[in-house]
């Protein structure tokens, strides 16, 4: 009793403790660590790498497809060169055969040879035009197919990015959840701490009031007055 009275008279009023200095008491959890732990169990880096890889394939394939549809690219160049060389060989062979046929008939060169040569040239020109149109048509079809393939790669890249985004979203939700839990736990602890401090200070005030009232009552009415004064002073002080 004497110790309590001494604390009441000479001790300081209590203040609520800093919640950040008492994290272990209210169950603090590291929100950033919660996010990192969640990501450790997810292949988010793999999804990011796949998205980049698919995106690279799509860009490359789309560029090749556009070139093909515009008549460009090594494939079409090789086809045109092959056609040119083949028609040149055919033309030379036909001219040689015609010259030999005329010579066998004793007709030599002259106007007929010129007419036949012109006819061969026209025929080869038409074949060249048709061949080039065929190559152009091939380029359009192949380029369109490449563009569709590029779209497929692009969709796969987008899906990989979507999966990665979903993983990050789950990790962020874990971080937010821990942050909200921390806030709720801290608020609950602070309410309890405030109640504890108010109760302690109320007891202190009541003790001081009781001591003062008891002294006054003793002076006024002796032991009986001291008891009554202590009781009244405690009530008022609290």
pLDDT at 131 over 50: yes
Burial of 80 (0-12, 13-18, 19+ CB in 10 A): middle
Burial of 214 (0-12, 13-18, 19+ CB in 10 A): buried
User: Taking a C-beta distance cutoff of 8 angstroms, is the pair 139, 68 a contact?
Assistant: yes
Rounded CA-CA distance 75/192 in Å is 79
Phi, psi angle pair for 108, to nearest 5°: 60, -150
pLDDT at 30 over 70: yes
Rounded CA-CA distance 124/130 in Å is 10
CA distances from 29 to 89, 142, 173 (A): 83, 58, 14
Give 22's pLDDT tier (boundaries 50, 70, 90): confident
Residue with tokens 């504890």: 196
Rounded CA-CA distance 186/192 in Å is 10
> Model pTM?
0.56
More confident residue, 13 or 74: 74
Give 97's pLDDT tier (boundaries 50, 70, 90): low
CA distances from 122 to 110, 116, 202 (A): 19, 10, 117
Residue with tokens 């009554």: 228
How many domains, the chain?
Answer: 1
Rounded CA-CA distance 190/196 in Å is 10
Helix (H, G, I), strand (E, B), or coil: what is residue 30? coil
Q: Which two tokens stand for residue 103?
A: 């010579």
Instruction: Provide the residue range defining the domain that includes 57.
Output: 2-237
- Per-residue pLDDT tens over the stretch 108-127: 554 444 544 566 566 667 77
Rounded CA-CA distance 127/88 in Å is 11
Rounded CA-CA distance 177/175 in Å is 5
Contacting residues for 144 by C-beta, under 8 A, at least 6 apart: 65, 69
């Amino acid at each position: 009793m004497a110790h309590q009275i001494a604390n009441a008279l000479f001790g300081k009023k209590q203040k609520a403790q800093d919640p950040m200095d008492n994290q272990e008491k209210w169950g603090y959890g590291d929100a950033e660590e919660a996010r990192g732990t969640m990501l450790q169990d997810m292949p988010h880096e793999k999804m990011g790498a796949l998205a980049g890889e698919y995106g690279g394939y799509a860009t490359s394939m789309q560029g090749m497809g556009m070139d093909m549809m515009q008549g460009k690219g090594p494939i079409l160049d090789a086809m045109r060169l092959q056609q040119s060389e083949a028609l040149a060989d055919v033309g030379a062979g036909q001219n040689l055969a015609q010259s030999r046929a005329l010579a066998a008939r004793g007709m030599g060169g002259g106007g007929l040879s010129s007419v036949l040569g012109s006819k061969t040239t026209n025929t080869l020109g038409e074949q060249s035009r048709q061949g080039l149109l065929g190559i152009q048509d091939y380029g359009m079809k192949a380029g369109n197919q490449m563009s569709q393939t590029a779209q497929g790669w692009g969709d796969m890249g987008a899906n990989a990015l979507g999966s990665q985004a979903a993983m990050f979203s789950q990790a962020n939700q874990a971080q937010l959840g821990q942050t909200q839990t921390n806030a709720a736990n801290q608020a609950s602890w602070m309410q309890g701490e405030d109640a504890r401090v108010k109760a302690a200070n109320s007891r202190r005030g009541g003790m001081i009031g009781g001591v003062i009232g008891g002294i006054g009552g003793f002076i006024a009415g002796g032991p009986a007055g001291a008891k009554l004064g202590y009781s009244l002073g405690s009530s008022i002080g609290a």
